[in-house]
Structure 1
């Protein structure tokens, strides 16, 4: 299960993708439109900014905008940024691999074999689905 923070981050990024390149949304607009607590959203946007996904503009017409095209921002990237590794078992993580302490052998571990298929399928969807694709095909968000 992804965290509420990751869900809010994705919803904020989708809102920014919806307004298109070069356009900004104020934090209060995103918070209202996406029903995200404003203080929590501010923290999320700062994290996204620090990781090069959004930039902020000051002033009356300021706000946040996507730095990269929505076609280049993948769900998997955002989830890893906010929640960390996408793996149900530590031995299946690509970026934070750890051998399971109670495992006799990874090669013969039935749990690993099953969850490996789950991880591959999940990564395939998340790493190939961009913000733009999600907006173009809303059934992907269901």
Structure 2
């Protein structure tokens, strides 16, 4: 399940993608427009900056902007930064694999096999959908393509 923190991060980055090449955007403006608590948003934006997705400038005329073009930042990247692995179970994760403590035989576990397919389908969509796609409204077409 997507955390509130990840949803706020996506909303903030999508807003910044809409303002791409128009200059820096104040945290207060992002918070107000996206209805996100300012203090929480500040922490989220600092995390995104630390991971190389944002650039910031302090002082008068300061604010945040994307550090890469919107077409180079995927929703999967953002969600992994905020929430960690996409898999619904640790044993189905590619980046955060952990064997389940109550599993008898991981190779034959039907739950693991299904959850790995779920993880792979989510990753396929999220890792192939960029901020630019979402801003341009191309998300529905991508999801339909992957569902077929």
Same fold flag (TM > 0.5): yes
- The answer to whether the Cα contact below 8 Å between 1:21 and 1:69 also exists between their aligned partners in 2 is no
**Structure 1 residue 60: Cα displacement:** 2.6
Tell me the alpha carbon deviations over residues 57-107 of structure 1, each in whole angstroms, 9 at most, x when there is no partner. 123321100000100100111111111111111111111111111111122
Distance in 1 (CA, whole Å) between partners of 2:124 and 2:5 is 22
Distance in 1 (CA, whole Å) between partners of 2:81 and 2:72 is 15
CA RMSD of aligned residues (A): 1.3
Distance in 2 (CA, whole Å) between partners of 1:71 and 1:133 is 7
Q: Does 10-19 or 111-120 show the bigger shift? A: 111-120
Q: Look up the match of 1:96.
A: 96
Counterpart mapping for 1:77-116 below 5 A: 77-116=77-116
| Number of aligned residue pairs | 140
2:18 is the alignment partner of 1:18: yes
Runs of 4+ off more than 6 Å: none
Q: Look up the match of 1:123.
A: 123
Q: Look up the match of 1:45.
A: 45
Tell me the alpha carbon deviations over residues 11-53 of structure 1, each in whole angstroms, 9 at most, x when there is no partner. 1100100001362110000000000000100111111111111
**Structure 1 residue 110: Cα displacement:** 1.1
**5+ long unaligned stretches in structure 1:** none
Distance in 1 (CA, whole Å) between partners of 2:138 and 2:35 is 18
- The answer to whether the Cα contact below 8 Å between 2:54 and 2:64 also exists between their aligned partners in 1 is yes
Distance in 1 (CA, whole Å) between partners of 2:116 and 2:87 is 9
Distance in 2 (CA, whole Å) between partners of 1:119 and 1:34 is 28
